[in-house]
Amino acid sequence: MIGRRTSLAALAALMLTCLGFDASAQQNYPQRVIRWVVPFAAGSGTDTVARIIAQNASGILGQQIVIENMGGANGVLAAQNVARAAPDGYTLFFTTNTTHAANPSLMRSLPYDPVTDFEPIARVAEAPLALLVNNSIPVNDVAGLIAYARQNPGKLSFGAGSSSAQLSGEMFRRLANIDVLYVPYRSNPQALNDVIGGQISFMFADAMFCISQAREGRVKCLGVTSRNRSRLAADTPSMHEAGVDGFHLTAWFAMFAPARTPRPIIDVIYQALTRTLSDPAVVNRMLATGFEPSLLGPEETAAFVQSEIAKWGAIVREAGIEPQ
């Protein structure tokens, strides 16, 4: 009996020690470098807004934030990496609707669950996409592109390196009733290079690409996917305004932690993001690159993700896309 009591006492002491250490670690978070995993290539829209926010948040948290780009497989590799990471706040997922809304409907067997494998921290921004067309295509507006595609069925192609870009292209194909070929890419910057080079005809990309590339004369920017015109391209109509009725799709950006990350750590990160998005300099940088600050807290983000999974599922079905 004495031996059993001694064992129980030792076990209790060990549990208290572990709990005390855990509480201390949470209270003192962060104590080392924090890794933000981005599921797309360097130079992508997600990478751009992540770096803008990380630069400010790093100063608030008092620790370096390292951006790790892990592109490929529509963000699946990055999502798996974060889902399997220790729930200690040092590996976070800066991602988009691709991994957390569209993939569940685009993939027949998704190796992660966007709801149960992650703790939502915050939605931070939204952004429209823009329709970019190769300069050699003899059109200057959306109506012209539709007419040209109908005159040349099966001869035009569009590329995409994200679900947002792919579904924008699929929506355009369906709503405009045109026969065009879809070409998948590992990242949107790769697809953009091929639009410029003429390997593919057009694509939908982050609006920031539209502005910079179109201003340099490397591509034509014909429309944006938001309901209204983008402040970055006031002379570019929305797709709906350009005559494609019912076309409205925007990308969103959010931060997640691995499931079971302690709430005190979630709160520290959320508070840092709140302060960051309250900084006029950060807001101006985001707006200047096409991102609209749009902050939601942990509970709001959780509900938002659930609604977006349903919304993007409907878009996939309406576009007639079969899960792969």
Query: CA-CA distance, 157 to 149, in Å (whole number)?
Result: 9
Which pLDDT value is given to residue 16? 41
CATH number of 128-224: 3.40.190.10
Which pLDDT value is given to residue 19? 44
For residue 200, the Cα-to-chain-centroid distance in whole angstroms is 23
CATH number of 27-127+251-318: 3.40.190.150
- Read off the pLDDT band of 324 (50, 70, 90): confident
Contact indicator for 225, 166 with CB cutoff of 8 Å: no
CA distances to 8, 36, 38, 123, 253 from 293, rounded to whole Å, are 53, 19, 18, 9, 10
What are the extents of the domains in the chain?
1-26, 27-127+251-318, 128-224
Token couple for 225: 């996917």
Q: Specify the range with the lowest mean pLDDT, choosing from 90-94, 192-196, 212-216.
A: 212-216
- Read off the pLDDT band of 24 (50, 70, 90): low
Token couple for 144: 């012209």
- Read off the pLDDT band of 9 (50, 70, 90): very low
Query: CA-CA distance, 193 to 199, in Å (whole number)?
Result: 9
The reply to whether domains 27-127+251-318 and 128-224 share a CATH topology is yes
Q: What average pLDDT score do residues 194-210 get? A: 91
**What are the tens digits of pLDDT across the range 65-109?**
999 999 888 899 999 999 999 999 999 999 999 999 999 999 989
The pTM assigned to this predicted structure is 0.80
**What are the tens digits of pLDDT across the range 141-180?**
999 999 999 999 999 999 998 888 999 999 999 999 999 9
Measure the CA angle with vertex 246, ends 136 and 195; round to 5°.
20
Higher confidence at residue 117 or residue 207? 117
Query: CA-CA distance, 140 to 144, in Å (whole number)?
Result: 6
**What are the tens digits of pLDDT across the range 280-313?**
999 999 998 889 999 999 999 999 999 999 989 9
- Read off the pLDDT band of 12 (50, 70, 90): very low
Helical ranges in 62-106 per DSSP H: 76-83, 97, 103-106
Share of the chain above pLDDT 90, in %: 70
Return the bridge partners of 204, or none.
Answer: 131
Task: Write the single-letter amino acid at 261.
Answer: T
